[in-house]
Chains A and B, each alone.
Chain A
Amino acid sequence: MNLNISALDYIQEVKTGNISAEDFIAKTIERIQSVDDKLHAFLSVNDDAINQARVIDKKIKSGEKVGDCFGMPISVKDNMCIKDSKTTCASKMLENFIAPYDATVISKLKQQDAIFVGKVNMDEFAMGLTTEFSAYGPSKNPWNMECVPGGSSGGSAVSVSALECVASLGSDTGGSVRNPASFCSTVGYKPTYGLISRYGLISYANSIEQIGPLTRTVKDTAFMLNLISGIDPNDNTTMDNKNEDYLSGIESGIEGKKIGIVKEMMGEGIDPAVLTATKDAIAKLEGLGAVCEEISFDMVKYSVAAYYTITATEAGSNLARYDNIRYGYDFPLEGYEFNSYISKARRNFGPEVTRRMIIGGFVPSAGHAGKYFLKALKVKSKLTKEVNDAFKKFDFLISPTVPILPFKLGEKIDDPVSLFLVDINTVTANLTGKPAISIPFANSNGLPIGIQLMADSMNDKSLLQAAYALEQTVSLPEVPI
Chain B
Amino acid sequence: MTMIGLEIHCQLTNLNSKLFCSCKANYREFEINENICPVCMGLPGSLPKLNQEAVKKATIIAMALNCTTPEKIAFFRKNYFYPDSPKNFQITQLNIYGDTSVGGTGSVMVGDKKIRITRIQLEEDPGRLIYEGSSSKNQITLVDYNRAGTPLVEIVTEPDFETPKEVRDFLNILSDILANLGVADPSLEGAMRADANVSIEGGKKVEIKNIGSFHDLEKAAHFEITRQKSHHSRDIEIIQETRHWDDKRKITISSRSKEEELDYRYFLEGDIPWVKIDPEIQKKLQTEMPESISSKKQRYVSKYNIPAQVSDVLSSDKYYSDLFEEAHTESNAKEVANIITTELMGLVDTREKRKASKFTSTHLRDLADAIQSGKVSRNSSKNALHEILKSGKDLSTVISELDLGNVSDESELSGFITQVISEEPQAVEQAKSNPQTINYLVGKVMQKTKGKADPVMTRDMLKKQIGV
If A89-B44, A338-B141 touch, whether A317 touches B49 (CB-CB below 8 Å) is no
Report how many residues on chain B are interfacial, defined by Cβ distance under 8 Å: 31
Closest chain A residue, CB of each to CB of B272:
A236
A202 to B79, alpha carbons, bound, how many Å?
18
If A100-B38, A323-B88, A366-B263 touch, whether A235 touches B44 (CB-CB below 8 Å) is no
Is chain B's binding surface mostly helix, strand, loop or mixed?
A: loop
Q: Does B83 lie at the interface of the complex (its beta carbon under 8 Å from any beta carbon of A)?
A: yes
Interface contact B41-A326, CB-CB below 8 Å: yes
Point out the residues of chain B lying under 8 angstroms from A236, CB to CB.
Answer: 47-50, 271-273
A328 to B273, alpha carbons, bound, how many Å?
30
Q: Does A233 lie at the interface of the complex (its beta carbon under 8 Å from any beta carbon of B)?
A: yes
Partner of A206, one of B38, B266, B270: B270
Interface contact B47-A314, CB-CB below 8 Å: no
Point out the residues of chain B lying under 8 angstroms from A200, CB to CB.
Answer: 45-46
Is chain A's binding surface mostly helix, strand, loop or mixed?
A: loop
Point out the residues of chain A lying under 8 angstroms from B50, CB to CB.
Answer: 236
A97 to B42, alpha carbons, bound, how many Å?
13
Point out the residues of chain B lying under 8 angstroms from A326, CB to CB.
Answer: 41-43, 86
Looking at the assembled complex, report how far the CB atom of A228 sits from the nearest CB atom of chain B, in whole angstroms.
15
Looking at the assembled complex, report how far the CB atom of A37 sits from the nearest CB atom of chain B, in whole angstroms.
29
Closest chain A residue, CB of each to CB of B262:
A366
A338 to B286, alpha carbons, bound, how many Å?
46
How many chain A residues sit at the interface, stated as a range, is: 35 or more
If A99-B44, A320-B88, A326-B41 touch, whether A237 touches B271 (CB-CB below 8 Å) is yes
Q: Does B267 lie at the interface of the complex (its beta carbon under 8 Å from any beta carbon of A)?
A: yes
A256 to B87, alpha carbons, bound, how many Å?
50
Interface contact A207-B270, CB-CB below 8 Å: yes
Interface contact A321-B45, CB-CB below 8 Å: no
A316 to B265, alpha carbons, bound, how many Å?
10
Q: Mark B245-272, 1 if CB is under 8 A from A, else 0.
A: 0000000000000000001011110111
If A237-B273, A317-B89 touch, whether A99 touches B45 (CB-CB below 8 Å) is yes
Interface contact A233-B49, CB-CB below 8 Å: yes
Q: Does A339 lie at the interface of the complex (its beta carbon under 8 Å from any beta carbon of B)?
A: yes
A365 to B267, alpha carbons, bound, how many Å?
10
Interface contact B265-A321, CB-CB below 8 Å: no
Q: Does A168 lie at the interface of the complex (its beta carbon under 8 Å from any beta carbon of B)?
A: no
Closest chain B residue, CB of each to CB of A365:
B263
Q: Does B81 lie at the interface of the complex (its beta carbon under 8 Å from any beta carbon of A)?
A: yes
If A313-B267, A317-B267, A321-B86 touch, whether A87 touches B81 (CB-CB below 8 Å) is no
Interface contact B270-A320, CB-CB below 8 Å: no
Interface contact A100-B87, CB-CB below 8 Å: no
Point out the residues of chain A lying under 8 angstroms from B43, CB to CB.
Answer: 99-101, 326-327
Closest chain B residue, CB of each to CB of A100:
B38
Closest chain A residue, CB of each to CB of B266:
A364
Looking at the assembled complex, report how far the CB atom of B97 sits from the nearest CB atom of chain A, in whole angstroms.
9
A323 to B81, alpha carbons, bound, how many Å?
9
Interface contact A321-B270, CB-CB below 8 Å: no
A287 to B90, alpha carbons, bound, how many Å?
55
Point out the residues of chain B lying under 8 angstroms from A327, CB to CB.
Answer: 43-44
Q: Mark A72-100, 1 if CB is under 8 A from B, else 0.
A: 00000001110000010100001001011
> Can you give 25 A-B contacts (C-beta < 8 A)?
A87-B44, A99-B43, A100-B38, A101-B43, A103-B45, A203-B271, A206-B47, A207-B270, A233-B49, A236-B49, A236-B50, A236-B271, A236-B273, A314-B267, A316-B79, A317-B77, A320-B81, A321-B87, A325-B83, A326-B42, A326-B43, A364-B266, A364-B267, A365-B263, A366-B263
Q: A234-B49, A338-B141 are in contact. List 14 more A-B contacts (CB 8 A).
A: A87-B45, A199-B45, A200-B46, A202-B44, A206-B270, A206-B271, A235-B271, A314-B267, A317-B79, A323-B88, A325-B83, A326-B86, A365-B265, A373-B267
B-side residues, CB < 8 A to A, are 38, 41-50, 77, 79, 81-83, 86-89, 141, 143, 263, 265-268, 270-273
